Amino acid sequence: VVVGRPSLKEQLVERTFGVWLDRGFEGASVNDLVVAAGVPKGSFYNHFSSKETFAVAHVQRYVQGLGLDELSTAEGPALDVIRQHFTRQLLARRAADLEPGCLLGTFSTGVSAAYPDLLAAVRDGFAQWISALAQVISRAQDRGEIAGDLDSEDIAAALVDGLQGALARARITGESRPFEVFLSTTMAALCGQR
């Protein structure tokens, strides 16, 4: 039985998340990335013209993997939907034996203006995430589940920003407590459920 070999392009994206998180965009070399992915360096350049091109593709795949369509159309109490959405991100990373972290957050510091395509992809990813969350929040405000005195886009942006800070502190402290405080404190306060 001949099975198709896994696409090297897939393999590169799937196995390099930890390298980006560990060293950041500037610190991770193409060599670091191909070694982690277990692919020959030549095949990297068959698929991607530069490290930035690869990072852009990885960010786009990462955003697709956030489950934003499911989030914005999910049924059920909004607080549960949002909490599960955030928790799933962390659990998925733990299950894959990866340290906590977000590719968007990692690429939002320490990437210089010399990489405009990557910065644009990160901006776009954040915008999509915030928009999907804002839809859930807005509907929950209409139903009276979340207080309506704050703008749904602002709440969504504040949630995403708070999560980024929490994941960064979770990473450097090696503790999940910052993420738990994000759920119990930031999210509870922003969604008016305290």
- The number of residues that bind a copy of itself (CB under 8 A) is 53
182 binds a copy of itself (CB under 8 A): yes
* 77-101 core/surface letters (b: 16 or more CB in 10 A; e: else): ebbebbeebbeebbeebeeeeeebb
Task: Give burial (CB, 10 Å; 0-12/13-18/19+) of 190.
Answer: buried
For the record, the structure tokens of 159 come out as: 């949630």
Contact between 162 and 186 (Cβ < 8 Å): yes
25 binds a copy of itself (CB under 8 A): yes
Contact between 120 and 30 (Cβ < 8 Å): no
Which span (1-9, 37-45, 57-65, 106-114) binds a copy of itself, by CB under 8 A?
106-114
Shortest separation between residue 33's beta carbon and a copy of itself, angstroms? 14
Which span (41-49, 74-82, 111-119, 132-140) binds a copy of itself, by CB under 8 A?
111-119
Shortest separation between residue 122's beta carbon and a copy of itself, angstroms? 6
176 binds a copy of itself (CB under 8 A): no
Q: What is the 8-class DSSP label of residue 6?
A: P
Contact mark string toward a copy of itself, 120..159, x via CB under 8 A: --xx--x--------------------x-xxx--xx-xx-
Cα distances (Å, whole numbers) of residue 70 to 5, 154, 184: 30, 21, 23
**Which C-beta is closer to a copy of itself: that of 9 or that of 89?**
89
Q: What is the 8-class DSSP label of residue 182?
A: I
40 three-state secondary structure: coil
Contact with a copy of itself (CB under 8 A) among 12, 133, 137, 178: 178
Give me the residues that bind a copy of itself (CB under 8 A), please: 20-28, 101, 105-106, 108-113, 119, 122-123, 126, 147, 149-151, 154-155, 157-158, 160-166, 168-169, 171-173, 178, 181-182, 184-186, 188-190, 192, 194
